[in-house]
Amino acid sequence: MEYIPVIHIQSKAPLWLPINEILFITVNNRKFEYYTFSGTYRNPGTIMEQYTLMNSVGFEYADRKSYLANLQNVTKYDKETRQVHFIHESGMTLTIEASRRSSKIFNHN
Protein backbone atom coordinates (compact mmCIF):
# COMPACT_ATOMS: atom_id res chain seq x y z
CA MET A 1 0.00 0.00 0.00
CA GLU A 2 1.27 3.48 -0.87
CA TYR A 3 1.07 6.48 1.47
CA ILE A 4 1.49 10.25 1.19
CA PRO A 5 2.40 12.72 3.96
CA VAL A 6 -0.50 15.04 4.87
CA ILE A 7 -1.86 17.23 7.65
CA HIS A 8 -5.39 16.74 8.99
CA ILE A 9 -7.19 20.08 8.42
CA GLN A 10 -9.04 20.24 11.74
CA SER A 11 -6.56 18.69 14.18
CA LYS A 12 -3.41 19.89 12.32
CA ALA A 13 -1.91 16.46 13.05
CA PRO A 14 0.64 15.20 10.48
CA LEU A 15 0.21 11.63 9.28
CA TRP A 16 0.73 9.21 6.41
CA LEU A 17 -2.49 8.79 4.42
CA PRO A 18 -3.08 5.57 2.42
CA ILE A 19 -3.63 6.58 -1.21
CA ASN A 20 -6.43 4.06 -1.66
CA GLU A 21 -8.52 5.92 0.97
CA ILE A 22 -8.48 9.16 -1.06
CA LEU A 23 -11.76 9.81 -2.88
CA PHE A 24 -10.78 12.99 -4.70
CA ILE A 25 -8.23 15.81 -4.60
CA THR A 26 -8.74 19.52 -5.16
CA VAL A 27 -6.65 22.67 -4.72
CA ASN A 28 -7.53 25.43 -2.26
CA ASN A 29 -5.18 28.39 -1.64
CA ARG A 30 -2.30 26.58 -3.37
CA LYS A 31 -2.66 23.54 -1.15
CA PHE A 32 -3.99 20.13 -2.06
CA GLU A 33 -7.02 19.00 -0.18
CA TYR A 34 -7.48 15.23 0.00
CA TYR A 35 -11.04 14.13 0.71
CA THR A 36 -11.69 10.79 2.40
CA PHE A 37 -14.62 9.39 4.34
CA SER A 38 -12.59 9.91 7.54
CA GLY A 39 -11.82 13.59 6.97
CA THR A 40 -10.04 16.19 4.87
CA TYR A 41 -6.27 16.52 4.71
CA ARG A 42 -3.91 19.09 3.22
CA ASN A 43 -0.49 19.33 1.59
CA PRO A 44 1.15 22.14 -0.49
CA GLY A 45 1.66 21.86 -4.27
CA THR A 46 -0.01 22.23 -7.65
CA ILE A 47 -2.70 20.09 -9.23
CA MET A 48 -0.38 19.27 -12.14
CA GLU A 49 2.26 17.91 -9.74
CA GLN A 50 -0.40 15.84 -8.05
CA TYR A 51 -1.74 14.52 -11.36
CA THR A 52 1.76 13.41 -12.35
CA LEU A 53 2.10 11.47 -9.08
CA MET A 54 -1.42 10.06 -8.82
CA ASN A 55 -2.32 9.21 -12.41
CA SER A 56 -0.36 5.96 -12.22
CA VAL A 57 -2.48 4.78 -9.27
CA GLY A 58 -5.90 5.43 -10.84
CA PHE A 59 -6.62 9.17 -10.50
CA GLU A 60 -8.03 11.22 -13.41
CA TYR A 61 -9.18 14.80 -13.89
CA ALA A 62 -12.88 15.09 -13.12
CA ASP A 63 -13.11 18.60 -14.50
CA ARG A 64 -10.91 21.36 -15.86
CA LYS A 65 -7.98 20.67 -13.59
CA SER A 66 -9.80 21.41 -10.33
CA TYR A 67 -10.49 17.86 -9.15
CA LEU A 68 -8.64 14.59 -9.43
CA ALA A 69 -10.93 11.62 -8.78
CA ASN A 70 -9.80 8.20 -7.60
CA LEU A 71 -11.57 6.02 -10.16
CA GLN A 72 -11.36 2.98 -7.87
CA ASN A 73 -13.53 4.75 -5.27
CA VAL A 74 -16.26 6.11 -7.59
CA THR A 75 -19.46 4.27 -6.70
CA LYS A 76 -21.98 6.00 -8.95
CA TYR A 77 -22.03 8.36 -11.91
CA ASP A 78 -25.12 10.27 -13.07
CA LYS A 79 -24.83 10.95 -16.83
CA GLU A 80 -27.53 13.63 -16.87
CA THR A 81 -26.11 15.82 -14.09
CA ARG A 82 -22.47 14.67 -14.51
CA GLN A 83 -22.33 14.08 -10.76
CA VAL A 84 -19.61 11.71 -9.51
CA HIS A 85 -20.59 10.02 -6.25
CA PHE A 86 -18.46 8.41 -3.58
CA ILE A 87 -20.81 6.45 -1.31
CA HIS A 88 -19.58 4.90 1.94
CA GLU A 89 -21.16 1.71 3.31
CA SER A 90 -22.56 3.85 6.18
CA GLY A 91 -24.52 5.92 3.63
CA MET A 92 -22.23 8.97 3.78
CA THR A 93 -21.88 10.46 0.28
CA LEU A 94 -19.42 12.94 -1.20
CA THR A 95 -20.15 14.32 -4.68
CA ILE A 96 -18.22 16.30 -7.28
CA GLU A 97 -19.21 17.42 -10.77
CA ALA A 98 -17.38 16.17 -13.85
CA SER A 99 -16.79 18.27 -16.94
CA ARG A 100 -18.31 17.17 -20.23
CA ARG A 101 -14.89 16.18 -21.49
CA SER A 102 -14.10 14.08 -18.39
CA SER A 103 -17.57 12.52 -18.25
CA LYS A 104 -16.42 9.97 -20.83
CA ILE A 105 -14.04 8.54 -18.22
CA PHE A 106 -16.83 8.00 -15.70
CA ASN A 107 -19.27 6.53 -18.23
CA HIS A 108 -16.96 3.53 -18.55
CA ASN A 109 -16.64 2.85 -14.80
Question: What CATH number is associated with residue 53?
Answer: 2.40.50.1020
pLDDT tens column, 87-109:
999 999 999 999 988 888 887 65
d(CA 106, CA 80): 12
User: What is the pLDDT averaged over residues 15-19?
Assistant: 95
pLDDT tens column, 43-74:
887 778 888 889 999 999 998 778 999 999 99
- The C-alpha angle 92, 53, 32, rounded to 5 degrees, equals 50
Q: Residue 109: its pLDDT value, please?
A: 53
Q: How many domains is the chain built from? A: 1
Domain encompassing residue 47: 3-107
Cα-based distances in Å from 13 to 2, 10, 19, 36, 100: 19, 8, 17, 16, 37
CB-based burial label for 13 (10 Å; 0-12, 13-18, 19+): exposed
Whether the CA torsion 23, 18, 28, 102 is positive or negative: it is: negative
User: What is the pLDDT averaged over residues 16-32?
Assistant: 90
